[in-house]
Every structure is written in structure tokens, then in C-alpha cells.
Chains A and B, each alone.
Chain A
Amino acid sequence: MTGGADAGANIGAVHPTVDDPIDHRRHVSDYFRLERWELPSTGADDPPVSLGGRAPVDGHLRGPGGGLRTGGLLTNLDSLGGFASGLASLPRWIVTTSLLATVSELVHVGPLRFRADVLRLGRTSVVTALDVVDEGAEERHVAAATMTCAILDPGVMELDFVRPFSMNMPPLQPDPSRPEEFFCIDPGEGPVTRLQLVDRLRNPWGILHGGAIAMLADEAACRAAEAHSPAASGPNGVAAADTVLHYLRPAKVGPVEARCQVLGSRAGRTTVRVEICDVGSDDRTVTLGSVTVLAV
């Protein structure tokens, strides 16, 4: 499980302090410069909550496919969809339990525009549909996804929002780091890839951000596919696309390791099973999923 909804929640326990200057509510989404706003309801048939979002495709975020790396795309989906799910669940809050994403386009001009619509609000879970188009490429479709979140008692969290909610696009940082560096993914190759769980990658729940897990799955699956068969690569290498992630348990200690099994390849697509374990927590499995890796 991950707390993908890291946006504007006024969570007292995680405000930046002198000892911990990182704002865990938005540190990861700010890296991808995700702007977001609440969409007004237009009728009784509207979803309980709908959010819009927009993110540029900055040069350091582009992957071998030419557009925003799929791990980054999933991070934005997790952030926006999780926040929409959280707003729908108030006064309780959510953690992401599964994210199922189909990526239809790897080449992006940008900015990308996102939309999240809550489809179903139940007693213990909320399901949200997500859609992404490329504003710079005549609204070309980029991805569709559904995510499920578990609804939890927020405990000591103070959830205080100005509605309708909005958050401006954060500025580009000078000399920004590449995603592998930002997410502390160790260099390497082969079927096992490791991430160091530093405190700035924790979300407001104090656990590893779901976006970090998505980026780890992306990187690990690509390395595994390349190592398994060099023929799986195209002129620019490989890139992650369709992804399924089940967030089973929180990653709390680290390091966090993605262990991959290449299941097979077909017509330029390699399917990789990814199991992510928290090595410091008795090596327990925290995420299970699959990634489709394309030759690009």
C-alpha cells in the first residue's frame, strides 16, 4: 500500500520542520511539476469528485521512448488519482492498493493533461478512472488507467482543504536530477534492481511513495528485459509501457529491491513479472505486478 494522495492535505505530523525541511505532502509530485485542480460538478450524474492535472515533459524526465518515462507517468496518475480518491473519501483518507495502466503512446510533446474521475465510492474502497492526453500533440491519447484505494481512518491527520482545490505548477528546478538519481535507484543491470529508501521519498504516511515504487518497477523491468535478451532492444533501447501494480504492504525500512522474471516476448513486447520486497522488513513483499517492456 502506498499513500499516493500526497497533495494538499494539511497533515500536521508531516509539515516541514527545521529538522526535516522536506514537505512530504508534495515532494515527489513537485519533482514532476504536477499542477492540479478540482473540476466543478455539472450535474447529478457527475462523479463524486473529478480532478484535472497538467505536467510538462521536461528534458531530464524523458526516457528512451522519447516521452515522459512510464514510471513518471504512473507517479502522476498515482498522485492525481489518489488525491481525487481521498477527497471523495473525506473525512477519512486513502492508500492506493492497485494501479492498472495501459500506455498507448511513449512519444510525447507535452505538456500532458490528466483527468481523474471517481467511479465508485464504497464503504472500504474507492475506484477512480484516469486518462492522459498530450496537449502538445493535438490531444493525442497517452494512457488510461484505473486505480483502487482502501479507505482508512486518518488518525491524527488533519485534512483541511480549500474547495474547489487547486495547486499551481511548481517551477523547474535548476539542474534537476534524473529520475534514477532522484529516486535513489542504484546503478546496475540484470533482473534485480535496488532502491535506497531515504526519508525524502516517504509520503505523508511515512512510507515509501507509490511513485517511487512505480519508477523502480519501470527501471527494473527494463533492465531485466535487456539482460534477458539483447534482441528485445530497439535502436534506442527499451521502455516500459502497460503496468499493473498491486501495493500489498507498506515499504518502511529499505533498501527496497525489485526482483524480475521475464515471462516471454511477443511481437516486440516483453512481459516482465515484478516482485518488490522491503529487504529491511524481513524481506517481505510490498508490491507485486507486471510491466510490458517495448523495444524502442
Chain B
Amino acid sequence: MAFNDYPPPEHILGDLGMEAELTTESTAKVRTRVTPFVTTADGGVRSGVLATLVDIVGGAIAARVLRPDWMATADMALQLVGPVHGPWVEARGSVARRGRTTLVIEALVVCVDEDGTDASVDGKPVQPVAWASMTFSVLPAENPSSSVQAAGELPVRWAFEGGGLERPILEVLPVEVLDATAGRLSLEVRPYLYNSFRAVQGGVIALLAEAAGAEALGAAHGLDGSRFVITDLQIAYLALGRVGPVVTSVRIVGSGSDGWSGAVVELRDTGADNRLMTVVNVSGAPASVLAGAAT
């Protein structure tokens, strides 16, 4: 399904097969199937994919709550509590505060079964696997830069339909590793990755930051980036990425003896005067540290 031609037929949201439902005037849930193409070395879903899920659930709520106004994501925080194994993963969002210029949304991420009920272990529903929050800036309805003005026409349920992923998601984007140790990764800007402003979608930005952090922190531990799991993302969205390529840089800010490490990732739009787009604080640990550690 598309609103005012967004997303286009070939789009990352379609390939992730996201299904959305507005559950009340101020709550929504969005889910996607867990496949090997969206997981990390610990077997759980990538934090960047979860951020994409959270961004969509937040956007769906915001579109309903703010109509006829529109919104842009200003910040997002996501904390993984445990590995996300599925078979489906669902973000459930609700409004924390609606202000004049901002909207704050909270989301809990849970694993669900095929029929949409909470996944269970030994007959007990599993705990949330991630907590997230985000702030949206409210954009007045007359803002001409938004391509989507049909918020009031959102259906109760819809699905982003696509062909599905046939390769790991970082290959699909695709992300090019320029220098793993420095966390220098590059991403071309193209319609497949657009948000409703025809710039790089916020969840894709999270994915790129996650990948950059994992490469640099993995290298610092003598590991391939695929063996390092980013569990926490704190994202400040500063400017849209419209031109590209978007290039990351990483500053490692801590590496503990227990394996937990943190870094600051900057994303710049090199085709737009190298403008600083986004700053992301990431933290995580080697998959070997996380294996079997959740309770």
C-alpha cells in the first residue's frame, strides 16, 4: 500500500514486509517477519531494523494524531533488552505527550507468533525485547516540502508490499565499507531508501549507523563487524540526507574489559557540502559476550 505514491513500488519498507495497524486514535503496532537476512551474529534482529520498525509505528501514530499537520523525526532512542528471535517482531507505540511543536512516542518491542499473539516460553508471554522512544517535530500542514498530505485517510490496517529480502539487508541497501577500523561506510541515496521527504528514511540511517558502529567496535576487539552486536542507539536527526553518498565516521568512546563498548557515529551528506546529518551514540558487545546472557 502507498500514500500519495509513497513508498514507491521498489522500497526497503516493502521488502521488509511490514504490516501496520492503528489500534486506537493514539496507539499503533507494526510488525515484520524475522528472517536470517535481518539478524546479527547473536541470532537476534539488528537494532537498525528494529529502529526502522519503531520509526514506522511512530510515524503512523504521528500521522493520525497530528493531522492535518505532518512531522519529521527529531530523535530516537532504542535499547535492546534481549535477542529478538521472532517468529515475528512487533513494535507497539503510544503517545507520551502531544505538544504544540513536538510529539513524543514510546514503543515497546515484543516477539509475536504467526497469529499475532505474544510469543511465549513455557506458557508465559516473553518480556519486551526492546524499549524505544522518539520525538517528532511538528510541521505545519502548509509545509510544501512534504509529499504526503493524506494522513487523515490512513486506513486502520495496511501492509507495505514488496518482493522480500533475498540477501542480508546491508547488502540490499547496499552499504559499502570504505574503512572498517575507522567506521567509514558509504551509502548511495536512491528512491529505494526514501522517506516521504525524498531523503534517506530514518530507519535506514539507524541501520547505517549501527553497521558503522559494529565495524569500528568490532575492529577494536579484533573482530569482524558482523561479530559485534549494537544493542543501543541514541539518534539525533539534524538534517535530511538528500544527495549522497552518505558517509559515516566513528569515534570510539569506551571499551570495557567486559566487552561492552561505545562509540559516536556521525553521518554526513558528502554531496551537500559534507553537511552533518545525524549523530548517533551506539553501544554494544561482541556476540560471544551476549550469547545466552539475556534473562
Does B40 reach chain A (CB closer than 8 Å)? no
Q: CB-CB contacts of B82-107 with A at 8 A, as 1s and 0s?
A: 10000000000000110101101010
| Number of chain B interface residues as a range | 35 or more
Q: Are B294 and A266 in contact (CB under 8 A)?
A: yes
Does B172 reach chain A (CB closer than 8 Å)? no
**With contacts A146-B281, A244-B133, A263-B127 known, is A105 near B254, CB below 8 A?**
yes
CB distance from A268 to the nearest CB of B (A): 6
Does B62 reach chain A (CB closer than 8 Å)? no
Residues of B within 8 A of A285 (CB): 96-97
**With contacts A144-B262, A285-B96 known, is A264 near B101, CB below 8 A?**
no
Residues of B within 8 A of A242 (CB): 79, 232, 234, 283
Q: Are B262 and A269 in contact (CB under 8 A)?
A: no
- The secondary-structure label for the interface of chain B is strand
Q: Are B238 and A148 in contact (CB under 8 A)?
A: no
Q: CB-CB contacts of A246-277 with B at 8 A, as 1s and 0s?
A: 10110000000000000111111101010000
CB distance from A257 to the nearest CB of B (A): 17
Q: Contact check: which of B131, B281, B290, B293 meets A290 at CB < 8 Å?
A: B131
Q: Are B135 and A97 in contact (CB under 8 A)?
A: yes
Q: CB-CB contacts of A61-90 with B at 8 A, as 1s and 0s?
A: 000000000000000000000000000000
Q: Contact check: which of A98, A102, A141, A290 meets B283 at CB < 8 Å?
A: A102
Does A124 reach chain B (CB closer than 8 Å)? yes
Q: Are A100 and B77 in contact (CB under 8 A)?
A: yes
Q: CB-CB contacts of B256-268 with A at 8 A, as 1s and 0s?
A: 1011111010000
Does B74 reach chain A (CB closer than 8 Å)? yes
Residues of A within 8 A of B80 (CB): 266
CB distance from A100 to the nearest CB of B (A): 4
Taking CB atoms and an 8 Å cut-off, the chain A residues in 115-134 that contact chain B are 119-120, 122, 124-125, 127, 129
Q: Are B77 and A265 in contact (CB under 8 A)?
A: no
Q: Contact check: which of B253, B261, B290 meets A144 at CB < 8 Å?
A: B253
Does B26 reach chain A (CB closer than 8 Å)? no
Q: Are A100 and B234 in contact (CB under 8 A)?
A: yes
Residues of B participating in the A interface, judged by any CB pair closer than 8 Å: 74-75, 77, 79-82, 96-97, 99, 101-102, 104, 106, 127-129, 131, 133, 135, 137, 231-232, 234, 236, 238-239, 253-254, 256, 258-262, 264, 276, 279, 281-283, 285, 289-290, 293-295
